[in-house]
Homo-oligomer: A and B are copies of this chain.
Amino acid sequence: MKRYWVPALERADQILTLIAYEPARNRLIDLSKQLGINKSSMFTLLNTMESLGWIVKEKDDTYSLGSSFGALGAAYFRQFNLLKFFHVEAPASTHRVGETIQFAVLEGRDIIYLAKEESPAPIRVAADPGMRFPAHATSLGKALLTQYSYEQLKQLFPEPLLEAKTPHTITQLDQLWLQLQQTYEQGYAIDEQEAVSGFFCIAAPILNHRNEIIAAVSFTMMEAAWLDKFELAKEEIVSLARRLSQRAGAMIL
């Protein structure tokens, strides 16, 4: 049993996740059955969440997310002041290279995508703001993880093997460590089909005025574009990261 735990919050989280995944689809009895929660418990949970604005009950008795998540979601993204500047600076870089740019921060050992500037390229990875992904398997994550020492890395990844997202994903911690050192020296990180088969990414870290890594940006593209535009993408992503770092440096946090 988990220590210092509030089971009602865990249940609410499960309910919200299901409703977020399928809004206007599930009634009380559906949620009760799918989550294995007694329907009288479900009744009081839904009643409370509805009163708090976390969910709304549709006309057909199904539930959708409520405006509290509009407000909390907006507040969450507002925590990252740099996003405004990203939206100002990124379009020029996307236009210059012709590929999608992602912006992410580190949370634990995952990256959280916070924003993206999409290019007209026909195919793109479904990484939307708010989504998370294992850091070690992405160029964004490698750029962000360079802030840790080897000891800190071992604490973050205590398991013997790292999770493989594709056959190309690094699974040995020492391998990751070597790549992080290389990333640090050269100022950018790459992942070649480590996160998603068929996709290649190059990322650069954004630093604040104390030289702390606070976020990262990356280009994502397919192999043909990768072979054709690697040098251009490298220059542009480093340049974009530098411009954003200058913006971050000017900010009073």
Contact = CB atoms under 8 A, between A and B. Distances in A.
Interface of A: 2-6, 8-10, 12-13, 16, 20-21, 23-24, 43-45, 47-49, 51-54, 56, 64-77, 79, 107, 110, 112, 114, 128-132
A67 B112 contact: yes
A214 to B, nearest CB: 12
Q: How many copies does the complex hold?
A: 2
Given A6-B8, A10-B52, 16 more contacts: A4-B44, A4-B48, A5-B44, A5-B48, A8-B8, A20-B76, A21-B75, A53-B107, A65-B79, A66-B107, A67-B130, A70-B131, A72-B130, A73-B74, A74-B129, A75-B130
17 contacts: A4-B43, A5-B44, A6-B44, A9-B9, A9-B45, A9-B54, A20-B76, A66-B76, A67-B132, A69-B72, A70-B112, A70-B129, A70-B130, A71-B130, A73-B130, A74-B128, A74-B129
